[in-house]
Each structure stands twice: as structure tokens, then as C-alpha cells.
Structure 1
Amino acid sequence: MGSAHQPSPSALDALDEWVASGLLTPEQSRAIREHEAARRGPHAAVALQPSPEAGPSLVVEALGYLGGVVMLIGAGILTGMLWPDLSVPLRLALIGAAALALIGAGFAVPERLGEVAGRVRSVLWALGVGATAGFFSVFSTEVLDRYDEHALVVIGPLTAVVAGALWWLRRTWLQQLALLAPLLVSAMGVGMELTSTDSSWGGALVWATAACWAALSWAGRLEPRVPGVAFGALGAVLGALAMPSDVGIALALATAVAAVGLALWERSLPWLGVAAITLLWTMPRAADAWFPGRLSAALTLLATGATLVGAAVWVARHQGAKRS
């Protein structure tokens, strides 16, 4: 009969995996554990405590993060010292070795560490994607002789291939961000290539790419869903603001308003926070462009702030009523 009070280990493992995938926040996971402990009694309370491996796991996690950052700093210092004297093959070998070491270290993290392993692997792989972008940047400029916006169509797509493979293996928010960034770089590069370095089309393609990303995430096609929509909304607004015209301002403002509407529809405070950021990016610029003057800017900020406060209160009240 005592075994009936023991919580299922698979359920606890699922909680850890859901947190790592962005489906639950750490606070929600902790609340579920506390609820189960209170409901099942002292046996469950003991079982729900961290395992003896929690301490070593945290040490491994901290050392993994520190090691990855130290590796990049060391590579940067060494590169700065020796870069003028290095041949192009050696430059590529140095950056490529750093990228392979970071990505390989992520694969080498033992799965038995559970949630900690997932976090360490995600960070190492994201750093590896950054080093990969550096590798293709040198390759583009030094080997292909492509600079500035002409290099973006090389750096973005090739980095996205690597980032996409890592996201496919582990679909966390950090891998998703590491994939979206080179895709947006690719969109900007393609737009500027097609229009003789005009940033209007580049910004438009960035907006379209990010908007598609947000839509696919909202539909559940890209995981995790909540960060995907947030990243897409932010990217879309940045792309629209890169268009040096009233059309870009209007598109950015419309995107920000749509983000607010989606957050209210889904009753999501995280999305509402992202929508607030997009409004703070767009509203002052729109007020300055269309209604110049300090008074209009102040009134615009007051109206925006009041709208956001009201939306936050509405979402919070609705969420509370839904839980009760």
C-alpha cells in the first residue's frame, strides 16, 4: 500500500522535460511538485525532494557555462593577437575548431543529468552557432571576397543550416533563437542584394520571415510555441522599422497592435510583455514622424502606458478567474 503514495518517476521526468522545452515555467513546475507533495502526504514530499545528484549537476552546469564563455574569450584574445599574422586557412581552422568544440561538447553532455544536461547543451550549441557564423563570415570575406550586405547571403543561410540541424535535435527556445537569427540575416541579405543595397526590401523580407515564424509557432508547427511567437513578433517589428519610410512605421505599428491583440486573445502575460516592448519601439517613432512635438510624444507615451496597464490587469484578472 505504501507504494501507492509514491509519485511516478516518469511524471517527474516529464515535468523537467516540459520546463526544458518551454512548455512550463520553473515556477509552474515547482507549484505542481508542491501540490502533489501536499496531496500525497509525507511519502511524496520525500520523493519530490531533489536527488543527491542535484549538487554535482549544478556544478556541472556552472562549469559548462563558464567553460564555454572562457573558450570564446580565449579564442578572441588569441585571434586578436595573432590575426594579422595568420593565413586564411589558419584563421578558418581556429574559428572552425572552436565551433566544433562547442557543438561537440554539447553532444558529450551526459543525458543522465536530465534537465541540467538540456540547459548546458542548449547554451553550448548556441555558442557553437555563433562561432559558426564567425567561421562563415571569414570564409565569405577572405575566400569569396564578399563584404557588407553581399556577405549576408553567405553567412545567413550556411549558419542557418547548422542551427536548423541543432534545433531539430533539441527544440528549445535557445536553439530556436539561434535558428531564427541567421534566417533574418539571410532575408536582409537577399532583399539588399535584389535592390542594390536598399534596406526597404531587406526590412520587408525580414518582417515577412519573422511574421511567418510567429504564425507557424502560434499554429504549433515550431516548438516551443510561446518563445517562437515572441521571437517572431520582435523580429517582425525590427524588420519593419528597418524600412526608412512611413510604410515601415505603419507596418511596425500594425504588427505591435496585432501582438497586443494576440496576447489578449490568448490571455498570455509573456506575449503581452513582448507586445509592450514592440509598442515602446514603434509608438515614439510614429509620434515623432507623424505628430512632431514634445506634447504629442508625451501624450502618445501616456496613452500607450495606460493601454498596456489596462491590458495587463485584464489578462491577470481573466487568468485568475480561469484558474479558480
Structure 2
Amino acid sequence: MTTSVDPEVHETRAPVPLSSLVEQWVAAGVISPEQARRMTSYDDVMVTLDGPPPDAHRRRPSTVAMEALGYIGGVVVLVSSILIMNLYWSDLSDGVRATVVALASAALLGAGFATSVQRGDVGVRLRSVLWLAATGAFAGFLALLTADILDLDEADAAALASAGTAAGAAALWWLHRHLPQQMATMVALMVTAGSLVNDVAPGHDSLPGLGAWTVAATWLLLGWGGLLRPRLVVLPLGAAAMVVSASMTLPTNAGFVLAIGTVAFVVALAVLQSDLLLLAVGAMGTLMVLPAAATEWFPDSDAVPFVLLAMGLLLVLAAVWTARRHRDRPREPGRDWGRLPRTTALVAAGVVLVVAVVIVAVVTAG
């Protein structure tokens, strides 16, 4: 089924899947994830976009200016607050410091609640930013509480503070289902996993990276299966988090294997999905991992630069092929790699979690 949008024909473009447009609308706050799920219940819907969008759907300059002024003002307030705190921070007790940070988090949280939220309105983005800042302040409060007031061990304090931050971020994400809150939740869970692994397996510097990688891989798989939206954003974010987490396991041999495997997986997934952003993440990961691996494993080999040159040429060819396939994809029948079956995604995520737990347990016991 093909649907035409905008009856005023100016320029006819190739049909695109409705799911791609819906994911962009969710990311922009135009519709809710539940509405998106209902709209994409039919996978065969293609939409033909005719001409430029009508003026009624364009953002007014005054709205853009108001939003920009709000963000700039918030940055100015943040910087000035930090400067003022630096003047008196050393004179404050631990309890007062924690109270100040807690009040800042509460103020940002309240400002987010007070922001009027309407679909497609600037209020959606303002609330997202305010609550993202509130999450950061809450993390600072928990760090001061666990480390300075409760005087816990460094590993225990990090684990408790990150777990509390993850819980708070998840609660805000449940209330406000938008990308900044999802990102905050993912990052907090990654830090929590790394901190917990470091707490139960001290002395193994590469294992915390494995814990963070497990969360990132799970996030990517759930996004690939459509359980986390918008998929077009969740996949690159999850892939980038996987690459960064895998690099934290270096320079162990197992860490290099994990990092190279992660980069290869991201590049392959990008090619299968014709996703240029995902391919860019894979290319950056290749630049991070391959030179380090070549230096570690073949320090005296003259063939290393030539191997790196070949890998670079392969990445260029992959980018060209992906761009051409991305352009022609709506007209090419074939298997849709854009979405993994939900059951498969859940099973794969479960396998990743179980394998990671087993690895940590074996290393700890050994």
C-alpha cells in the first residue's frame, strides 16, 4: 500500500517505509511510542512524499529563537552557579554540599514538571533537557552521599551511586518517553554494570568494560528488535557505546578480540541495513581498535601499515556501496534487516547477559 502526503505536487520522491517516518516523528516528540507502535502495525505501508512540507508544519523563527535563548540562558546559569560554588565549596561541610546538589536536582526536576508539554512543542525538548540536567545533579548528590557522608569504600560507593542514578533516570524515562531520558538510562546502567563488576572482581581492570559492553549490546539488540525506539537513533547509540566499552577492555588479548569483533559486527550490521550513520560508528571504531591491535600483536612487522591501508580501502568501498544501496533500497525487494524479530532480539540479549555473567564468575573464581 502506498500513501501520498501533501496533495500539492511540487516534486515527487521515491516511496519510503512509513516506519522510517514514524521513528523520526517519535524522536522529534510529535507522537508517542504507543502511537508509533499502532501506526507501524502494518509493515507493507510505503509513503510517497510530494514536494516540500507545507508552511504550517515549519517551525516559526520566533519559536526557534525562544528555544535557543532558553538553552543559552540555562548554560549561563549553570556556568555562573559553578563559579559561585567554587568560591565557597571548600568552606562547606559534606552535608551542606550534598544538600546544595540535591536542591539543584530537585529544582531542575520541578522546572521540568512545570514545563508545559504539547506534542511537537518546544516544551517537550525543554523538559528533556531539564530532566537530563536533573539526572546529572542527582548522580552528583548520590556520589557525595555515598563517598563523603556514608564514607563507603570507593567501589561500593560507585556501585550504589550509579545504581541509584540508573533507577532515577529510568523513572524519568518512564514519565517522559524521549531520547535524552533513554540515553541517560543507558549510560547510567552501563556505569552501574561496570561498577558492580569492579566491586565483585577487583584487580581485573578489563572486566568493568565487559560489564558496560553487555548493557550496550543488550540495548542495541532491543533497539534492533523494535523494543526500544526510535530504532534509527538507538542502533547508532548502542553501537557507539559498544565500541567505547570494548575499548575499555584493552590491552588484554581477550579485550582486543572483543573490540575487533564488535567493530566487525557494527560494520556488517551497517552494510546490511544500509545505515550510513551506523557505518560511521564502525569506521571510528576501526580507527580506535585496529592500530592498537596491530601495534600490540605485531610490533615489528612491516606489513602492518599495508594491512591498515587495505582495511581503510574496504571501509571506503563499504561506504560507497551502502550509500548506493540506501538510495535504491525502497525499490529493492529482499529480506528486511532493519528489524530483528522481537523474540530473537530478547533471546539474543539474554544470551549476551548470561555469557557475560559466566565470564565474570569464571574469572572471579579463578
**CA 1:297–1:319 in structure 2 vs 1: closer, same or farther (change >3 Å)?**
same
Q: Is the 8 A contact 2:163 2:192 kept in 1?
A: yes
**Matched AA of 2:312:** G
Match of 1:175 among 172, 177, 181: 181
The equivalent of 2:162 in structure 1 is 156
- Residue by residue over 1:177-234, the C-alpha shift from the partner in whole angstroms, topping out at 9 and shown as x without a partner, is 2111111111111111111242222122122121111111111112222322222222
**CA 1:299–1:109 in structure 2 vs 1: closer, same or farther (change >3 Å)?**
farther
Q: Does 1:303 align with 2:310?
A: yes
The 1-side partners of 2:91 and 2:236 are apart by 44
**CA 1:201–1:47 in structure 2 vs 1: closer, same or farther (change >3 Å)?**
closer
The 2-side partners of 1:107 and 1:94 are apart by 20
| Equivalent residue runs for 1:260-279 within 5 Å | 260-279=267-286
Indicate the structure whose relative CO is greater, using CA pairs within 8 Å and at least 6 residues apart. Answer: 2
- Residue by residue over 1:90-128, the C-alpha shift from the partner in whole angstroms, topping out at 9 and shown as x without a partner, is 211211121122222222222248342222222222222
Q: Does 1:283 align with 2:293?
A: no
The 2-side partners of 1:126 and 1:231 are apart by 17
The 2-side partners of 1:57 and 1:49 are apart by 10
Q: Does 1:217 align with 2:223?
A: yes
The equivalent of 1:186 in structure 2 is 192
The equivalent of 2:93 in structure 1 is 87
Match of 2:141 among 127, 132, 135: 135
Q: Does 1:18 align with 2:14?
A: no
**CA 1:230–1:105 in structure 2 vs 1: closer, same or farther (change >3 Å)?**
same
RMSD: 2.9
- Kindly indicate which of the two structures has a greater share of residues assigned to helix: 1
Q: Is the 8 A contact 1:152 1:189 kept in 2?
A: yes
**Matched AA of 1:188:** G
The equivalent of 2:344 in structure 1 is none
**TM-score normalized with structure 2 length:** 0.73
Alpha-carbon distance, 1:80 to partner: 1.5
Q: Does 1:78 align with 2:84?
A: yes
The 2-side partners of 1:301 and 1:234 are apart by 21
Q: Is the 8 A contact 2:30 2:119 kept in 1?
A: no
**Matched AA of 2:81:** A
Q: Is the 8 A contact 2:240 2:281 kept in 1?
A: yes
The equivalent of 1:63 in structure 2 is 69
Q: Is the 8 A contact 1:17 1:115 kept in 2?
A: no
Q: Does 1:232 align with 2:238?
A: yes
The 2-side partners of 1:220 and 1:287 are apart by 37
Q: Is the 8 A contact 2:274 2:326 kept in 1?
A: yes
**CA 1:299–1:108 in structure 2 vs 1: closer, same or farther (change >3 Å)?**
farther
**Matched AA of 2:169:** A
Say which SS state the counterpart of residue 81 (structure 1) adopts: helix
Q: Is the 8 A contact 1:68 1:124 kept in 2?
A: no
Aligned residues: 298
**Matched AA of 1:18:** V
**CA 1:319–1:132 in structure 2 vs 1: closer, same or farther (change >3 Å)?**
same
Higher deviation after alignment, 203-212 or 244-253: 203-212
**CA 1:189–1:47 in structure 2 vs 1: closer, same or farther (change >3 Å)?**
closer
**Matched AA of 2:182:** Q
For structure 1, the residue ranges without an aligned partner over 5 or more in a row are 7-13, 24-33, 39-43
Q: Is the 8 A contact 2:128 2:178 kept in 1?
A: yes
Q: Is the 8 A contact 1:95 1:134 kept in 2?
A: yes
Higher deviation after alignment, 122-131 or 101-110: 101-110
The 2-side partners of 1:132 and 1:37 are apart by 46
Say which SS state the counterpart of residue 171 (structure 1) adopts: coil
The equivalent of 2:38 in structure 1 is none
**CA 1:225–1:322 in structure 2 vs 1: closer, same or farther (change >3 Å)?**
closer
Q: Is the 8 A contact 1:65 1:124 kept in 2?
A: no
**Matched AA of 2:287:** L
The 1-side partners of 2:30 and 2:240 are apart by 18
- Residue by residue over 1:149-172, the C-alpha shift from the partner in whole angstroms, topping out at 9 and shown as x without a partner, is 332201211111111112222333
The 1-side partners of 2:307 and 2:187 are apart by 31
Alpha-carbon distance, 1:251 to partner: 0.5
Alpha-carbon distance, 1:37 to partner: 5.1
Higher deviation after alignment, 203-212 or 249-258: 203-212
**CA 1:5–1:47 in structure 2 vs 1: closer, same or farther (change >3 Å)?**
farther
Match of 1:119 among 125, 145, 163: 125
Alpha-carbon distance, 1:274 to partner: 1.2
The 1-side partners of 2:216 and 2:152 are apart by 25
Q: Is the 8 A contact 2:279 2:319 kept in 1?
A: yes
Say which SS state the counterpart of residue 235 (structure 2) adopts: helix
